[in-house]
A and B are shown apart, each in its own frame.
Chain A
Protein backbone atom coordinates (compact mmCIF):
# COMPACT_ATOMS: atom_id res chain seq x y z
CA UNK A 1 0.00 0.00 0.00
CA UNK A 2 1.22 3.52 -0.83
CA UNK A 3 0.03 6.02 1.77
CA UNK A 4 0.10 9.22 -0.29
CA UNK A 5 0.00 8.01 -3.86
CA UNK A 6 -0.67 11.47 -5.33
CA UNK A 7 2.76 12.74 -4.25
CA UNK A 8 4.73 9.52 -3.82
CA UNK A 9 4.05 8.48 -7.43
CA UNK A 10 4.00 11.96 -8.97
CA UNK A 11 6.00 12.32 -12.19
CA UNK A 12 9.23 14.25 -11.88
CA UNK A 13 7.90 17.39 -13.62
CA UNK A 14 4.91 17.48 -11.29
CA UNK A 15 7.18 16.89 -8.31
CA UNK A 16 9.42 19.75 -9.36
CA UNK A 17 6.44 22.09 -9.73
CA UNK A 18 5.24 21.14 -6.26
CA UNK A 19 8.70 21.66 -4.74
CA UNK A 20 9.01 25.05 -6.48
CA UNK A 21 5.61 26.06 -5.18
CA UNK A 22 6.60 25.18 -1.61
CA UNK A 23 10.02 26.86 -1.79
CA UNK A 24 8.55 30.07 -3.20
CA UNK A 25 6.32 30.32 -0.14
CA UNK A 26 8.93 29.09 2.35
CA UNK A 27 11.65 31.70 1.84
CA UNK A 28 9.44 34.81 2.40
CA UNK A 29 7.86 33.03 5.40
CA UNK A 30 11.28 32.45 6.96
CA UNK A 31 12.51 35.96 6.18
CA UNK A 32 9.40 37.48 7.77
CA UNK A 33 9.61 35.44 10.95
CA UNK A 34 13.23 34.55 11.64
CA UNK A 35 15.72 37.46 11.95
CA UNK A 36 18.70 35.09 12.15
CA UNK A 37 17.83 33.45 8.82
CA UNK A 38 16.95 36.80 7.24
CA UNK A 39 20.39 38.03 8.17
CA UNK A 40 22.02 34.81 6.83
CA UNK A 41 20.19 35.12 3.50
CA UNK A 42 21.00 38.83 3.24
CA UNK A 43 24.64 38.12 3.99
CA UNK A 44 24.67 35.62 1.12
CA UNK A 45 23.50 38.46 -1.13
CA UNK A 46 20.27 36.70 -2.08
CA UNK A 47 17.06 38.61 -2.76
CA UNK A 48 14.18 36.40 -1.49
CA UNK A 49 12.16 37.44 -4.56
CA UNK A 50 14.80 35.79 -6.76
CA UNK A 51 13.78 32.36 -5.45
CA UNK A 52 11.21 31.34 -8.07
CA UNK A 53 11.87 27.67 -8.68
CA UNK A 54 13.40 24.74 -6.84
CA UNK A 55 16.56 25.12 -8.95
CA UNK A 56 17.15 28.49 -7.29
CA UNK A 57 17.77 26.66 -4.03
CA UNK A 58 21.48 26.52 -4.91
CA UNK A 59 21.69 30.27 -4.34
CA UNK A 60 20.77 29.88 -0.68
CA UNK A 61 23.29 29.42 2.14
CA UNK A 62 23.75 26.13 3.98
CA UNK A 63 22.62 25.53 7.55
CA UNK A 64 24.86 23.47 9.82
CA UNK A 65 24.73 21.62 13.10
CA UNK A 66 26.84 24.44 14.54
CA UNK A 67 24.11 26.93 13.60
CA UNK A 68 21.63 24.82 15.56
CA UNK A 69 23.88 25.01 18.61
CA UNK A 70 25.00 28.62 18.20
CA UNK A 71 21.45 29.95 17.94
CA UNK A 72 20.17 27.76 20.76
CA UNK A 73 17.44 27.83 21.89
CA UNK A 74 15.08 29.77 19.61
CA UNK A 75 17.32 31.59 17.12
CA UNK A 76 16.38 29.47 14.09
CA UNK A 77 12.66 29.23 14.89
CA UNK A 78 10.23 30.84 12.48
CA UNK A 79 7.15 30.21 14.62
CA UNK A 80 6.58 31.92 17.95
CA UNK A 81 6.77 29.74 21.03
CA UNK A 82 3.01 29.87 21.67
CA UNK A 83 2.53 28.06 18.34
CA UNK A 84 4.95 25.30 19.34
CA UNK A 85 3.19 22.20 20.69
CA UNK A 86 6.07 19.83 21.22
CA UNK A 87 9.80 20.17 21.64
CA UNK A 88 12.60 17.60 21.47
CA UNK A 89 16.11 18.14 22.74
CA UNK A 90 19.16 16.06 21.98
CA UNK A 91 22.33 16.49 23.94
CA UNK A 92 25.62 16.94 22.23
CA UNK A 93 29.04 16.04 23.52
CA UNK A 94 30.14 19.65 23.30
CA UNK A 95 28.36 22.96 23.75
CA UNK A 96 24.64 23.53 23.55
CA UNK A 97 22.13 20.76 22.94
CA UNK A 98 20.03 20.72 19.76
CA UNK A 99 16.45 21.88 20.15
CA UNK A 100 13.62 21.29 17.69
CA UNK A 101 10.00 22.40 17.99
CA UNK A 102 6.83 21.35 16.18
CA UNK A 103 3.71 23.37 15.45
CA UNK A 104 0.38 21.59 15.17
CA UNK A 105 0.84 21.35 11.40
CA UNK A 106 4.39 20.07 11.84
CA UNK A 107 3.06 17.26 14.02
CA UNK A 108 0.50 16.47 11.31
CA UNK A 109 3.31 16.41 8.76
CA UNK A 110 5.30 14.07 11.01
CA UNK A 111 2.35 11.69 11.32
CA UNK A 112 1.87 11.80 7.56
CA UNK A 113 5.48 11.03 6.60
CA UNK A 114 5.71 8.31 9.25
CA UNK A 115 2.52 6.72 7.89
CA UNK A 116 4.26 6.77 4.50
CA UNK A 117 7.24 5.04 6.15
CA UNK A 118 5.10 2.31 7.68
CA UNK A 119 3.28 1.62 4.40
CA UNK A 120 6.52 1.71 2.46
CA UNK A 121 7.97 -0.98 4.77
CA UNK A 122 4.90 -3.14 4.12
CA UNK A 123 2.55 -2.42 7.02
CA UNK A 124 -1.13 -3.01 6.19
CA UNK A 125 -4.21 -1.60 7.89
CA UNK A 126 -5.06 -3.83 10.84
CA UNK A 127 -1.42 -4.58 11.66
CA UNK A 128 0.04 -4.33 15.14
CA UNK A 129 3.35 -2.54 15.67
CA UNK A 130 5.72 -2.93 18.60
CA UNK A 131 7.58 0.35 19.01
CA UNK A 132 10.83 -0.41 20.79
CA UNK A 133 12.44 2.91 20.00
CA UNK A 134 12.91 5.09 23.07
CA UNK A 135 9.99 7.34 23.93
CA UNK A 136 10.90 10.74 25.28
CA UNK A 137 13.16 13.52 24.14
CA UNK A 138 14.59 11.16 21.51
CA UNK A 139 12.33 11.47 18.45
CA UNK A 140 12.29 7.73 17.58
CA UNK A 141 9.48 6.47 19.79
CA UNK A 142 7.01 9.32 19.32
CA UNK A 143 7.67 9.61 15.58
CA UNK A 144 6.67 6.00 15.04
CA UNK A 145 3.76 6.49 17.41
CA UNK A 146 2.32 9.41 15.44
CA UNK A 147 2.71 7.56 12.14
CA UNK A 148 1.03 4.45 13.48
CA UNK A 149 -1.81 6.56 14.90
CA UNK A 150 -2.23 8.29 11.54
CA UNK A 151 -2.32 4.97 9.75
CA UNK A 152 -4.62 3.41 12.33
CA UNK A 153 -2.37 0.55 13.42
CA UNK A 154 -2.64 -1.15 16.79
CA UNK A 155 0.27 0.25 18.83
CA UNK A 156 2.30 -1.45 21.54
CA UNK A 157 4.50 1.36 22.89
CA UNK A 158 7.13 -0.74 24.70
CA UNK A 159 9.89 1.88 24.27
CA UNK A 160 13.45 0.54 24.44
CA UNK A 161 14.95 -1.78 27.01
CA UNK A 162 13.56 -4.55 29.25
CA UNK A 163 14.32 -7.17 26.65
CA UNK A 164 12.64 -10.12 28.37
CA UNK A 165 9.42 -8.13 28.50
CA UNK A 166 9.76 -7.11 24.84
CA UNK A 167 9.97 -10.79 23.91
CA UNK A 168 7.03 -11.76 26.09
CA UNK A 169 4.93 -9.00 24.51
CA UNK A 170 5.93 -10.24 21.07
CA UNK A 171 4.77 -13.75 21.96
CA UNK A 172 1.56 -12.66 23.68
CA UNK A 173 0.28 -10.02 21.22
CA UNK A 174 1.92 -11.17 17.99
CA UNK A 175 2.77 -7.80 16.42
CA UNK A 176 3.84 -8.23 12.80
CA UNK A 177 5.86 -5.00 12.76
CA UNK A 178 8.86 -4.11 14.91
CA UNK A 179 10.57 -0.74 15.16
CA UNK A 180 13.90 -0.41 16.98
CA UNK A 181 17.60 0.18 16.36
CA UNK A 182 19.28 -2.58 14.32
CA UNK A 183 21.78 -3.33 17.07
CA UNK A 184 18.93 -3.80 19.53
CA UNK A 185 17.25 -6.24 17.12
CA UNK A 186 20.41 -8.36 17.15
CA UNK A 187 20.78 -8.00 20.89
CA UNK A 188 17.20 -9.21 21.36
CA UNK A 189 17.91 -12.26 19.16
CA UNK A 190 20.80 -13.18 21.45
CA UNK A 191 18.71 -12.67 24.54
CA UNK A 192 15.86 -14.70 23.05
CA UNK A 193 18.17 -17.67 22.54
CA UNK A 194 19.37 -17.40 26.12
CA UNK A 195 15.77 -17.43 27.30
CA UNK A 196 15.05 -20.54 25.22
CA UNK A 197 13.02 -18.68 22.59
CA UNK A 198 13.78 -19.55 18.96
CA UNK A 199 13.94 -16.14 17.24
CA UNK A 200 13.38 -17.69 13.79
CA UNK A 201 9.91 -18.61 15.06
CA UNK A 202 9.26 -15.03 16.26
CA UNK A 203 6.16 -13.05 15.35
CA UNK A 204 7.82 -9.98 13.91
CA UNK A 205 7.77 -10.24 10.12
CA UNK A 206 8.82 -6.70 9.20
CA UNK A 207 11.45 -4.68 11.00
CA UNK A 208 11.89 -0.93 10.55
CA UNK A 209 15.37 -0.20 11.77
CA UNK A 210 17.20 3.09 12.07
CA UNK A 211 18.76 5.74 14.33
CA UNK A 212 22.23 4.32 13.69
CA UNK A 213 24.20 3.32 10.61
CA UNK A 214 24.11 -0.36 9.71
CA UNK A 215 25.39 -2.45 6.84
CA UNK A 216 23.99 -4.96 4.37
CA UNK A 217 25.74 -7.74 6.23
CA UNK A 218 24.05 -6.70 9.45
CA UNK A 219 20.75 -6.77 7.57
CA UNK A 220 21.38 -10.38 6.47
CA UNK A 221 22.18 -11.30 10.03
CA UNK A 222 19.00 -9.74 11.42
CA UNK A 223 16.85 -11.27 8.67
CA UNK A 224 18.31 -14.72 9.31
CA UNK A 225 18.10 -14.40 13.10
CA UNK A 226 14.45 -13.29 13.16
CA UNK A 227 13.27 -14.70 9.84
CA UNK A 228 11.92 -11.28 8.92
CA UNK A 229 12.20 -8.51 6.34
CA UNK A 230 14.58 -5.91 7.74
CA UNK A 231 14.09 -2.41 6.28
CA UNK A 232 16.00 0.79 6.82
CA UNK A 233 14.39 4.04 7.95
CA UNK A 234 16.18 7.36 7.83
CA UNK A 235 15.61 10.56 9.67
CA UNK A 236 17.11 13.10 11.99
CA UNK A 237 15.52 15.26 14.63
CA UNK A 238 16.66 18.51 12.99
CA UNK A 239 14.55 17.67 9.92
CA UNK A 240 11.59 15.96 11.64
CA UNK A 241 12.82 12.82 13.42
CA UNK A 242 12.27 9.45 11.74
CA UNK A 243 10.22 9.89 8.57
CA UNK A 244 12.61 11.41 6.05
CA UNK A 245 13.20 8.28 3.94
CA UNK A 246 12.32 4.58 4.01
CA UNK A 247 13.07 1.42 2.06
CA UNK A 248 10.27 -0.39 0.28
CA UNK A 249 10.15 -4.19 0.06
CA UNK A 250 12.69 -4.13 -2.81
CA UNK A 251 15.34 -2.85 -0.40
CA UNK A 252 17.00 -0.99 -3.25
CA UNK A 253 17.52 2.44 -1.73
CA UNK A 254 15.43 4.53 0.66
CA UNK A 255 12.58 6.56 -0.81
CA UNK A 256 13.08 10.12 0.36
CA UNK A 257 9.88 12.14 0.67
CA UNK A 258 11.23 14.90 -1.53
CA UNK A 259 7.92 16.77 -1.89
CA UNK A 260 8.47 17.94 1.70
CA UNK A 261 12.15 17.20 2.39
CA UNK A 262 14.15 18.39 -0.60
CA UNK A 263 17.44 16.49 -0.94
CA UNK A 264 20.73 17.58 -2.46
CA UNK A 265 23.90 15.50 -2.38
CA UNK A 266 26.99 17.68 -2.24
CA UNK A 267 30.73 17.46 -1.99
CA UNK A 268 31.34 18.25 1.70
CA UNK A 269 34.51 20.14 0.84
CA UNK A 270 33.24 22.40 -1.97
CA UNK A 271 29.48 22.51 -1.39
CA UNK A 272 28.89 21.69 -5.07
CA UNK A 273 26.29 19.11 -6.05
CA UNK A 274 27.86 15.76 -7.03
CA UNK A 275 26.63 13.82 -10.11
CA UNK A 276 23.78 11.35 -9.66
CA UNK A 277 24.99 8.10 -8.10
CA UNK A 278 28.12 9.55 -6.54
CA UNK A 279 28.77 9.70 -2.81
CA UNK A 280 28.40 13.01 -1.07
CA UNK A 281 26.88 14.69 1.97
CA UNK A 282 23.10 14.66 2.13
CA UNK A 283 21.64 18.15 2.49
CA UNK A 284 17.93 18.66 3.16
CA UNK A 285 15.56 21.61 2.97
CA UNK A 286 12.29 21.26 4.87
CA UNK A 287 9.86 22.69 2.32
CA UNK A 288 6.71 22.87 4.45
CA UNK A 289 7.77 22.91 8.08
CA UNK A 290 6.68 25.90 10.17
CA UNK A 291 8.26 25.65 13.63
CA UNK A 292 11.91 25.44 12.72
CA UNK A 293 12.19 25.14 8.94
CA UNK A 294 15.76 24.53 7.79
CA UNK A 295 17.35 25.57 4.52
CA UNK A 296 19.95 23.25 2.98
CA UNK A 297 20.71 21.54 6.26
CA UNK A 298 24.00 19.63 6.19
CA UNK A 299 23.17 16.20 7.66
CA UNK A 300 26.80 15.00 7.75
CA UNK A 301 25.54 11.68 6.36
CA UNK A 302 27.32 10.32 3.30
CA UNK A 303 24.91 8.86 0.70
CA UNK A 304 24.35 8.64 -3.03
CA UNK A 305 21.03 9.47 -4.70
CA UNK A 306 19.16 8.18 -7.77
CA UNK A 307 16.07 9.53 -9.51
CA UNK A 308 14.76 6.58 -11.57
CA UNK A 309 11.34 5.12 -10.85
CA UNK A 310 11.26 2.18 -8.43
CA UNK A 311 9.62 -1.20 -9.12
CA UNK A 312 7.18 -0.43 -6.28
CA UNK A 313 5.72 2.43 -8.33
CA UNK A 314 7.08 5.28 -6.25
CA UNK A 315 8.84 8.05 -8.15
CA UNK A 316 10.34 9.68 -5.06
CA UNK A 317 14.14 9.61 -5.40
CA UNK A 318 16.08 6.99 -3.50
CA UNK A 319 19.09 7.54 -1.28
CA UNK A 320 21.54 4.77 -0.52
CA UNK A 321 22.02 3.42 2.98
CA UNK A 322 24.18 5.78 4.98
CA UNK A 323 27.72 5.02 3.86
CA UNK A 324 29.36 6.95 6.64
CA UNK A 325 29.34 10.20 8.52
CA UNK A 326 31.40 13.18 7.61
CA UNK A 327 32.19 13.45 11.32
CA UNK A 328 32.15 9.77 12.46
CA UNK A 329 34.57 8.83 9.81
CA UNK A 330 37.99 8.66 11.35
CA UNK A 331 41.11 9.53 9.50
CA UNK A 332 44.05 7.35 10.42
CA UNK A 333 47.40 8.05 8.80
CA UNK A 334 45.57 9.83 6.00
CA UNK A 335 43.16 6.95 5.32
CA UNK A 336 39.40 7.30 5.80
CA UNK A 337 38.09 4.54 8.04
CA UNK A 338 34.39 3.71 8.37
CA UNK A 339 33.20 1.19 10.97
CA UNK A 340 31.08 -0.47 8.26
CA UNK A 341 34.22 -1.60 6.45
CA UNK A 342 35.39 -3.54 9.48
CA UNK A 343 31.96 -4.95 10.17
CA UNK A 344 31.87 -6.26 6.61
CA UNK A 345 35.11 -8.17 7.08
CA UNK A 346 33.96 -9.69 10.36
CA UNK A 347 30.70 -11.01 8.96
CA UNK A 348 32.56 -12.39 5.96
CA UNK A 349 34.71 -14.53 8.21
CA UNK A 350 32.81 -17.60 9.20
CA UNK A 351 31.57 -17.64 12.72
CA UNK A 352 32.09 -14.06 13.75
CA UNK A 353 29.21 -11.78 14.56
CA UNK A 354 29.90 -8.09 14.42
CA UNK A 355 30.47 -7.34 18.06
CA UNK A 356 33.55 -5.30 17.75
CA UNK A 357 35.10 -2.01 18.69
CA UNK A 358 37.69 0.07 16.94
CA UNK A 359 40.18 1.79 19.19
CA UNK A 360 42.41 4.45 17.72
CA UNK A 361 45.34 5.61 19.78
CA UNK A 362 48.47 7.64 19.30
CA UNK A 363 51.48 6.35 21.16
CA UNK A 364 54.66 8.17 22.07
CA UNK A 365 56.19 7.66 18.65
CA UNK A 366 53.35 9.73 17.15
CA UNK A 367 52.07 7.02 14.86
CA UNK A 368 48.32 6.35 15.02
CA UNK A 369 47.47 2.78 15.92
CA UNK A 370 44.22 0.99 15.21
CA UNK A 371 43.15 -1.87 17.40
CA UNK A 372 40.04 -3.90 16.63
CA UNK A 373 38.51 -5.73 19.57
CA UNK A 374 36.48 -8.81 18.60
CA UNK A 375 34.44 -10.84 21.03
CA UNK A 376 35.16 -14.56 21.07
CA UNK A 377 32.11 -16.74 20.67
CA UNK A 378 31.29 -20.25 21.74
CA UNK A 379 31.10 -21.57 18.20
CA UNK A 380 34.58 -20.63 17.13
CA UNK A 381 36.34 -21.07 20.44
CA UNK A 382 38.95 -23.82 20.50
CA UNK A 383 41.04 -25.32 23.26
CA UNK A 384 44.01 -24.90 20.96
CA UNK A 385 45.77 -21.56 20.97
CA UNK A 386 46.88 -22.20 17.40
CA UNK A 387 43.31 -22.11 16.03
CA UNK A 388 42.49 -18.90 17.85
CA UNK A 389 45.71 -17.28 16.70
CA UNK A 390 44.97 -18.30 13.12
CA UNK A 391 41.52 -16.77 13.31
CA UNK A 392 42.91 -13.56 14.71
CA UNK A 393 45.51 -13.44 11.98
CA UNK A 394 42.89 -13.94 9.30
CA UNK A 395 40.76 -11.09 10.64
CA UNK A 396 43.83 -8.89 10.85
CA UNK A 397 44.93 -9.59 7.28
CA UNK A 398 41.49 -9.04 5.79
CA UNK A 399 40.94 -5.76 7.63
CA UNK A 400 44.39 -4.67 6.56
CA UNK A 401 43.51 -5.48 2.94
CA UNK A 402 40.37 -3.39 3.09
CA UNK A 403 41.82 -0.39 4.93
CA UNK A 404 45.37 -0.48 3.56
CA UNK A 405 46.74 0.28 7.00
CA UNK A 406 48.10 -2.05 9.64
CA UNK A 407 45.78 -2.95 12.49
CA UNK A 408 46.07 -4.97 15.64
CA UNK A 409 43.30 -7.46 16.36
CA UNK A 410 42.57 -8.48 19.91
CA UNK A 411 40.21 -11.27 20.89
CA UNK A 412 38.22 -10.41 23.98
CA UNK A 413 35.81 -12.27 26.23
CA UNK A 414 32.12 -12.23 25.27
CA UNK A 415 29.98 -9.29 26.32
CA UNK A 416 32.96 -7.21 27.37
CA UNK A 417 32.34 -4.67 24.59
CA UNK A 418 29.72 -2.25 25.74
CA UNK A 419 26.38 -2.76 24.01
CA UNK A 420 23.98 -0.03 24.86
CA UNK A 421 20.28 -0.28 24.17
CA UNK A 422 20.56 2.37 21.52
CA UNK A 423 23.61 3.24 19.55
CA UNK A 424 26.60 1.00 19.96
CA UNK A 425 29.94 2.54 20.61
CA UNK A 426 31.92 1.30 17.63
CA UNK A 427 34.79 3.72 17.64
CA UNK A 428 36.86 4.85 20.58
CA UNK A 429 39.25 7.59 19.58
CA UNK A 430 41.85 8.06 22.28
CA UNK A 431 44.02 10.40 20.26
CA UNK A 432 44.50 13.88 21.54
CA UNK A 433 44.76 15.76 18.30
Chain B
Protein backbone atom coordinates (compact mmCIF):
# COMPACT_ATOMS: atom_id res chain seq x y z
CA UNK B 1 0.00 0.00 0.00
CA UNK B 2 1.27 3.37 -0.97
CA UNK B 3 1.49 6.19 1.46
CA UNK B 4 1.61 9.87 0.65
CA UNK B 5 4.71 11.97 1.03
CA UNK B 6 4.71 15.73 1.00
CA UNK B 7 7.54 17.59 -0.69
CA UNK B 8 8.20 21.28 -0.18
CA UNK B 9 10.51 23.60 -2.11
CA UNK B 10 12.86 25.49 0.20
CA UNK B 11 15.46 28.09 -0.52
CA UNK B 12 18.65 27.67 1.45
CA UNK B 13 17.75 30.46 3.79
CA UNK B 14 18.09 30.52 7.50
CA UNK B 15 15.00 29.42 9.35
CA UNK B 16 12.97 28.06 6.42
CA UNK B 17 12.88 24.51 7.82
CA UNK B 18 11.85 25.94 11.15
CA UNK B 19 9.09 27.93 9.41
CA UNK B 20 7.63 24.75 7.92
CA UNK B 21 7.90 22.70 11.12
CA UNK B 22 6.47 25.38 13.35
CA UNK B 23 3.61 26.03 10.92
CA UNK B 24 2.69 22.34 10.89
CA UNK B 25 3.19 22.07 14.65
CA UNK B 26 0.91 25.00 15.34
CA UNK B 27 -1.81 23.25 13.36
CA UNK B 28 -1.33 19.88 15.08
CA UNK B 29 0.17 18.12 12.09
CA UNK B 30 2.61 15.44 13.23
CA UNK B 31 5.76 14.75 11.22
CA UNK B 32 6.53 11.01 11.10
CA UNK B 33 9.52 11.02 8.82
CA UNK B 34 11.58 13.77 7.24
CA UNK B 35 14.57 14.36 5.04
CA UNK B 36 16.04 17.25 3.04
CA UNK B 37 17.77 16.95 -0.30
CA UNK B 38 19.91 19.97 -1.00
CA UNK B 39 21.78 21.71 -3.73
CA UNK B 40 23.92 24.77 -3.10
CA UNK B 41 21.00 27.14 -3.45
CA UNK B 42 17.79 25.24 -2.83
CA UNK B 43 16.48 22.11 -1.21
CA UNK B 44 13.48 19.83 -1.27
CA UNK B 45 12.01 18.89 2.06
CA UNK B 46 10.27 15.50 2.02
CA UNK B 47 8.04 14.37 4.85
CA UNK B 48 5.48 11.84 5.86
CA UNK B 49 2.87 13.37 8.14
CA UNK B 50 -0.31 12.16 9.82
CA UNK B 51 -2.65 14.60 7.98
CA UNK B 52 -1.21 15.13 4.53
CA UNK B 53 -4.15 16.85 2.80
CA UNK B 54 -4.45 19.41 5.58
CA UNK B 55 -0.69 19.91 5.63
CA UNK B 56 -0.40 20.65 1.91
CA UNK B 57 -3.37 23.01 1.98
CA UNK B 58 -1.82 24.81 4.92
CA UNK B 59 1.60 25.08 3.30
CA UNK B 60 0.20 26.40 0.02
CA UNK B 61 -1.88 28.95 1.88
CA UNK B 62 1.32 30.18 3.44
CA UNK B 63 3.05 30.63 0.11
CA UNK B 64 5.02 27.38 -0.10
CA UNK B 65 5.19 25.20 -3.17
CA UNK B 66 4.15 21.76 -1.92
CA UNK B 67 3.22 18.55 -3.73
CA UNK B 68 2.17 14.97 -3.03
CA UNK B 69 4.26 11.97 -4.02
CA UNK B 70 3.51 8.26 -3.66
CA UNK B 71 6.06 6.42 -1.54
CA UNK B 72 6.18 3.10 0.27
CA UNK B 73 7.06 2.62 3.92
CA UNK B 74 8.95 -0.65 4.36
CA UNK B 75 9.64 -2.54 7.57
CA UNK B 76 13.26 -3.50 7.77
CA UNK B 77 14.64 -5.79 10.49
CA UNK B 78 16.70 -3.65 12.86
CA UNK B 79 19.61 -6.05 12.77
CA UNK B 80 22.96 -6.05 10.97
CA UNK B 81 22.34 -6.74 7.31
CA UNK B 82 18.61 -6.07 7.59
CA UNK B 83 18.62 -3.22 5.09
CA UNK B 84 21.07 -5.00 2.79
CA UNK B 85 18.70 -7.95 2.51
CA UNK B 86 15.85 -5.69 1.41
CA UNK B 87 18.01 -3.75 -1.05
CA UNK B 88 19.21 -7.04 -2.56
CA UNK B 89 15.62 -7.96 -3.37
CA UNK B 90 15.25 -4.64 -5.21
CA UNK B 91 18.52 -5.05 -7.04
CA UNK B 92 17.70 -8.62 -8.09
CA UNK B 93 14.34 -7.52 -9.43
CA UNK B 94 15.42 -4.35 -11.24
CA UNK B 95 13.51 -2.07 -8.90
CA UNK B 96 15.04 1.40 -8.96
CA UNK B 97 15.10 3.40 -5.77
CA UNK B 98 15.11 7.18 -6.34
CA UNK B 99 15.79 7.91 -2.69
CA UNK B 100 15.04 6.63 0.82
CA UNK B 101 15.05 7.84 4.40
CA UNK B 102 14.15 6.69 7.89
CA UNK B 103 11.22 7.26 10.17
CA UNK B 104 11.56 9.29 13.32
CA UNK B 105 10.01 6.64 15.54
CA UNK B 106 10.67 2.97 15.73
CA UNK B 107 7.96 0.49 14.92
CA UNK B 108 8.29 -2.48 17.27
CA UNK B 109 11.68 -4.11 16.76
CA UNK B 110 11.87 -3.13 13.13
CA UNK B 111 13.10 0.06 11.50
CA UNK B 112 10.74 1.89 9.16
CA UNK B 113 12.13 3.27 5.92
CA UNK B 114 10.44 5.44 3.31
CA UNK B 115 11.24 4.44 -0.28
CA UNK B 116 10.59 6.50 -3.36
CA UNK B 117 10.68 4.12 -6.33
CA UNK B 118 10.91 4.91 -9.98
CA UNK B 119 7.85 2.67 -10.44
CA UNK B 120 5.90 2.34 -7.26
CA UNK B 121 3.46 -0.30 -8.52
CA UNK B 122 6.15 -2.69 -9.70
CA UNK B 123 8.03 -2.17 -6.46
CA UNK B 124 4.94 -3.07 -4.44
CA UNK B 125 4.45 -6.31 -6.34
CA UNK B 126 8.07 -7.28 -5.72
CA UNK B 127 7.73 -6.45 -2.03
CA UNK B 128 4.58 -8.55 -1.73
CA UNK B 129 6.15 -11.48 -3.57
CA UNK B 130 9.08 -11.49 -1.17
CA UNK B 131 6.86 -11.06 1.88
CA UNK B 132 8.52 -7.82 2.91
CA UNK B 133 5.95 -6.03 5.02
CA UNK B 134 4.95 -2.51 4.33
CA UNK B 135 3.13 -0.05 6.51
CA UNK B 136 -0.39 1.08 5.68
CA UNK B 137 -1.71 4.59 5.59
CA UNK B 138 -3.86 3.83 8.64
CA UNK B 139 -0.84 2.65 10.57
CA UNK B 140 1.03 5.85 9.70
CA UNK B 141 -1.84 7.98 10.89
CA UNK B 142 -2.04 5.99 14.11
CA UNK B 143 1.67 5.95 14.85
Contacts and interface: CB of A to CB of B under 8 A. Distances in A.
Size category of the B interface is: 20 to 34
Contact of A414 (B43, B44, B63): B63
Interface of A: 376-378, 381-385, 388-389, 410-416
B124 interface: no
Nearest to B5: A383
B67 A378 contact: yes
B128 interface: no
Interface of B: 5, 7, 9-11, 16, 37-39, 41-44, 46, 60, 63-67, 69, 98-99, 116
Given A378-B60, A383-B7, A388-B44, A413 B65 contact: yes
Contact of B37 (A381, A385, A413, A416): A385
A30 B54 CA distance: 69
B42 A388 contact: yes
A410 B65 CA distance: 16
B9 A381 contact: yes
Contacts of A377: 65
Contacts, number: 55
Given A376-B9, A376-B42, A383-B69, 11 more contacts: A383-B7, A383-B44, A383-B116, A385-B43, A388-B42, A388-B44, A410-B41, A413-B9, A413-B16, A414-B63, A416-B11
Contacts of A413: 9-11, 16, 63-65
23 contacts: A378-B60, A381-B9, A381-B67, A382-B67, A383-B5, A383-B116, A385-B37, A385-B44, A388-B9, A388-B44, A389-B39, A410-B41, A410-B42, A411-B41, A411-B42, A412-B11, A412-B42, A413-B10, A413-B11, A413-B16, A413-B63, A413-B64, A414-B64
**Residue of B39, B43, B65, B116 with most chain A CB atoms under a 10 A cut-off:** B65
A381 B65 contact: yes
Contacts of B43: 385
A270 B63 CA distance: 50
Instruction: Give the secondary structure class of A's interface.
Output: loop
A381 B66 CA distance: 8
A378 B9 CA distance: 9
A302 to B, nearest CB: 33
A416 B42 CA distance: 14
Contact of A384 (B11, B16, B64, B98): B98
Nearest to B63: A415
Nearest to A378: B65
B123 to A, nearest CB: 16
A384 B10 CA distance: 13
Given A383-B46, A383-B116, A388-B44, A414 B65 contact: yes
Nearest to B116: A383
Contacts of B11: 411-413, 416
A378 B46 CA distance: 15
Nearest to B7: A383
A411 to B, nearest CB: 5
A384 to B, nearest CB: 6
A424 to B, nearest CB: 18
A146 to B, nearest CB: 40
Nearest to B37: A385
B50 to A, nearest CB: 19
A380 to B, nearest CB: 9
A410 B42 CA distance: 8
Contacts of A382: 7, 44, 67
A410 to B, nearest CB: 5
B63 to A, nearest CB: 5
Nearest to A416: B11
Nearest to A389: B39
A387 to B, nearest CB: 10
A411 B10 CA distance: 9
A384 B45 CA distance: 10
Contacts of B99: 384
7 closest A-B pairs by beta carbon, nearest first, are A383-B7, A383-B69, A381-B65, A385-B37, A376-B9, A410-B41, A376-B65
Contacts of A415: 63
Contacts of B41: 410-411
A413 B37 CA distance: 16
A384 B39 CA distance: 11
A52 B99 CA distance: 80
Contacts of B37: 385
Contacts of B5: 383
A410 B9 CA distance: 13
A385 B39 contact: yes
A246 B69 CA distance: 49
Contacts of B44: 382-385, 388
A415 B65 CA distance: 10
A108 B65 CA distance: 51
A111 to B, nearest CB: 43
**Residue of B9, B43, B116 with most chain A CB atoms under a 10 A cut-off:** B9
A416 B12 CA distance: 13
A411 B11 CA distance: 8
